[in-house]
Structure 1
Amino acid sequence: KREAGGACAVRLVGPRAAGECTSLKRLHYAEPKESYQKMQSFPSGTTVSYVCRPGYRRIPGKSLAVTCMDSQWLEPEPFCTEKSCSRPEDLEHGSAHIEDLKFGSSITFSCEEGYRLRGASEISCVIKGADVGWSENLPFCEQIPCKPPPSIANGLYDERESYVYQTTVTYRCVDVPKGMDRFSLIGSDSIFCTHDADNNGIWSGPPPECRVVKCDNLQVQHGKKITGFGPSYSYKDSITFECDPGYSMKGSQTISCLENSTWHPPKPTCVKNMCAAPEITDGELIPLKTQYSKGESVRIKCNAQCTLPDGAGEMTVTCEGGETWSSLQNCTCRVVDPNPHISHGRIIAGLKSSYSVGDVITIECYAGYTLHGEANIQYSGENRWTPEVPTCHLSKYELQKFPLALKMYIMGGLKRDSTPCTAKYTSCTA
């Protein structure tokens, strides 16, 4: 305070009064009336009046006052609540996902299959002036449109004013004057309007083509056509053949004209109802002939050491005509060592990994052993030798070196002997 003569008086502020509140209590839904907003302290027992914030309204019957008591603001019972926005109208061909209509809440929208949303997909309840309202205009669902379908050369389709989801367009080829090659429709004749991941309208696939397709007029030797007599053939035309009596068909009976002017499958052939002798390795045919009639059977017998895939040594197959045999299988052979086993001996000449009939080998025994049989033997087939494979026996000279007991043990065919050992020798266990 300014005193007389221009001097200033300073007023000292004492300590805070006991029990007073300083700052105002902050509520998310209400604020103090303007007259209280600049006040710095509030004595205990002071009551402050509040008003609801924008977006909120008073709850009827609730007090708008907050009281200071012992340096604290008493926690009031909520006296304001959120205002509500109006419920939007039903979305035609779509739906609104509503959890709440109160201030601050949001609504999301979606459309049925084949429709897309125009406008905001989400709106919120916000403050608008003194009240609340929706943040955006309500959206709507429109049927997904497609651009006009593509045109094709030498073809046409029925045009429309618009093309929307699920609309189907069917193409056809133009007619040509009599005597001219007609156009064939290649590909699916129809496409339809659908949509991509972003709900933009697209056509289900490429359009077909109209072009001239001509397949050759085929003939089958020893056969005839029973359907599709021609004489000209275009796309998707077919022919069915039949063989003359005494002949069987190899290939497909029915063939069709493809878009590249070729037949599929290839033209069949008619072959005489005979079968050439089947080619068998490591086995023989019984009876053996150059050709067999349809229905005639032949026995396949595998060579020694050879079997069929199922382990059997032989099987019977039947000529089905047209050079075809029923369930034909081949023989496979076990790999065996063709060389004879010679205990205490070896082959010194003619050794091979395989032998032909007439091959000769020479055998000798190791030192101390004597050959019993012929040293030279000849291969006679199927692992047989002529004369028989010789054997090697311990020589008499070597036997004389052994003590009597061991000699009798060896000569006795590896049988134990009770003869006592002579001097300088002890008994051993064989």
Structure 2
Amino acid sequence: MGTVSVSCPAGLGLLLLVMVVLLGEARAEERCMPPERLQYAELTESFSTMQSFPVGTTVTYVCRPGYMRIPGKSLNRTCGEDLRWSQTEEFCAARRCTHPGELENGIVHVTDLTFGSEATFSCHTGFRIRGNSEITCVVKNKGVDWDGVVPFCERVPCEPPPTIANGYYTEAAEYVYQTTVTYKCNDALKGEDPYSLVGTPSIFCTLDEDLNGVWSGPPPQCKVVKCENPKVQNGKKVTGFGPLYSYGHSVAFECDPGYFMIGQDVITCQENNTWYPPKPTCEEITEDRCGAPKISHGQVIPLQSEYRSGESVRLRCNPHCAFPDGAEEITVTCQGQNTWSSVQNCACKPVHSDSSPVISHGRVIYGQKPEYSVGDSVTIECYAGYTLHGSDRIVYMGEGKWSPEVPTCHLSAYVIAIICVITVVLVFLAAFWVYKKFFSQGGLCPDQLNSKEQRQERAAKTDCVTDVT
């Protein structure tokens, strides 16, 4: 069999060689684009300015400020033949700031301490922030630290309490949240009418809607109040016989036999020199008339001064109260001669508190009970050397709550000053004794003196045991 030889034209071989070279150059020109930006790291300086990277190039990262390297994790990435950068685990972790610390009379709100996190501060009721209410963990001194200091909470102040004519108030070292002042009237001069304290005797420093310090209400007034001697025809006084009546004095009346009362049986002298409610009248009992029925812990609907025989009214008990059969409302009818059918009184279920309010360094001086019902009040005072912050009179609101809040007793500034002075004096005396005992010549033991004669003389005057030879 013969041999077949194939020969390529010289031009075709040259063409193949050119194609191989061109393909190699094209392959060599394939490059990766810069890798995506990482939040926690950046390319080292030698790679940071490059716009493209040949296949096979390995780049190195460095952790950004605020981050630190995670041991054992690679900082390198490589441009692959698919023109993609090799994947890598996160190799830098955020640095951590130390806890900013506690905030006296306030709260520190912080959920994370890593670089970039924030800490916010808020104060308890009655206090306000002085300083930054928010700080951030930032890069500082080649590490991380907070960009501010912890603020402090100061007690909200009030302006000095208002003065009143013919009276004065108990002064305090400072007027801040819950500070209470009590007003009193001046003594009248001989022969003059006495002053009456009209209004709430005590006011306390509280907060307005903008959390600024304001007084709980206007101060009372000291004024001369005189009400006329009340007299009721066909009736008589039961209490409050006078003869002089000033603000707050009360008088109770009852009608003579054969008469019924129209109006309230107890009246009180008001600040405008009048009685309220108006003094009652006593009308003769007749067969066809009734006065308003009397009911405890309830109300009459409709309420009138008198009713005709056959008229009916509703008696409704106050909240938490009921009639003996459990009903909260009944209907009664006027039967003439000031007589009503089936008039009953309401019985109230007490709403008790668990115990008296607890006041450190203070006590309840009026109104203390084993249990309290809604509306009960107590008066509080601090022990000697302590100052009351808050109202001295609080009212039980139910469910263990008092209004205003239970006050607190703080050590008086004068007592603190005295303690400091005593401490300084004691320290001085102790230092003086040490000096006299060990450092002055009069306190040296004989073996600390120079001559034999000095040692013999001092040995007789001291308790030191030494060799004077």
Quickly name the TM-score band, shorter chain normalised: 0.5 to 0.7
Q: 1:78 aligned to 90, 103, 120, which one?
A: 90
Distance 1:61 1:298, change over 3 A: closer
Structure 2 portions without partners, runs of 5+:
1-24, 291-307, 312-332, 342-469
Q: 2:99 aligned to 87, 98, 104, which one?
A: 87
Amino acid at match of 1:31: E
Contact kept in structure 2, 1:19 and 1:69, CA below 8 Å: no
Alignment correspondent of 2:364: none
Distance 1:41 1:274, change over 3 A: closer
Identical columns (%): 56
Give runs of aligned pairs for residues 348-363 of structure 1, distance below 5 A: none
Higher strand share: 1
Contact kept in structure 2, 1:20 and 1:69, CA below 8 Å: no
For 1:18 and 1:134, locate their aligned partners in 2 and report how far apart those are by CA, in whole Å: 49
Contact kept in structure 1, 2:288 and 2:335, CA below 8 Å: no
Task: Please state if 1:41 is matched with 2:58.
Answer: no
Q: 1:127 aligned to 115, 139, 160, which one?
A: 139
For 2:116 and 2:150, locate their aligned partners in 1 and report how far apart those are by CA, in whole Å: 17
Alignment correspondent of 2:206: 194
For 1:187 and 1:23, locate their aligned partners in 2 and report how far apart those are by CA, in whole Å: 81
Distance 1:76 1:271, change over 3 A: same
For 1:277 and 1:165, locate their aligned partners in 2 and report how far apart those are by CA, in whole Å: 58
Q: 1:208 aligned to 214, 220, 233, which one?
A: 220
Structure 1 residue 219, shift from structure 2 partner:
1.7
Alignment correspondent of 2:157: 145
Structure 1 residue 49, shift from structure 2 partner:
1.2
Alignment correspondent of 2:172: 160
Q: Secondary structure of 1:274's match?
A: coil
Structure 1 residue 251, shift from structure 2 partner:
2.1
Contact kept in structure 2, 1:251 and 1:267, CA below 8 Å: yes
Task: Please state if 1:319 is matched with 2:336.
Answer: yes
Alignment correspondent of 1:99: 111
For 1:250 and 1:270, locate their aligned partners in 2 and report how far apart those are by CA, in whole Å: 6
Q: Secondary structure of 2:32's match?
A: coil
For 1:275 and 1:15, locate their aligned partners in 2 and report how far apart those are by CA, in whole Å: 128
- Output one character per residue of 1:62-93: Cα deviation in whole Å (capped at 9) or x when no partner: 11111111211112111111111111111111
For 1:182 and 1:298, locate their aligned partners in 2 and report how far apart those are by CA, in whole Å: 49
Q: 2:249 aligned to 232, 237, 240, which one?
A: 237
Structure 1 residue 16, shift from structure 2 partner:
6.8
Q: Secondary structure of 2:46's match?
A: helix
Alignment correspondent of 2:398: none
Higher helix share: 2
Task: Please state if 1:17 is matched with 2:28.
Answer: yes
Structure 1 residue 249, shift from structure 2 partner:
2.5
Structure 1 residue 222, shift from structure 2 partner:
2.4
Give runs of aligned pairs for residues 235-384 of structure 1, distance below 5 A: 235-275=247-287, 318-321=335-338
Distance 1:318 1:69, change over 3 A: closer
For 1:195 and 1:57, locate their aligned partners in 2 and report how far apart those are by CA, in whole Å: 48
Structure 1 residue 15, shift from structure 2 partner:
5.1
Q: Secondary structure of 2:122's match?
A: strand
For 1:241 and 1:24, locate their aligned partners in 2 and report how far apart those are by CA, in whole Å: 99
- Output one character per residue of 1:152-180: Cα deviation in whole Å (capped at 9) or x when no partner: 11111111120121111111111102331
For 1:200 and 1:299, locate their aligned partners in 2 and report how far apart those are by CA, in whole Å: 60
> What count of residue pairs does the alignment treat as equivalent?
278
Amino acid at match of 2:105: H
Structure 1 portions without partners, runs of 5+:
1-13, 279-296, 301-315, 328-430
Task: Please state if 1:59 is matched with 2:70.
Answer: yes
Question: Could you tell me the TM-score, scaled by structure 2's length?
Answer: 0.55
Structure 1 residue 271, shift from structure 2 partner:
2.6
Distance 1:299 1:59, change over 3 A: closer
Question: Could you tell me the TM-score, scaled by structure 1's length?
Answer: 0.60
Distance 1:270 1:61, change over 3 A: same
Structure 1 residue 39, shift from structure 2 partner:
2.6
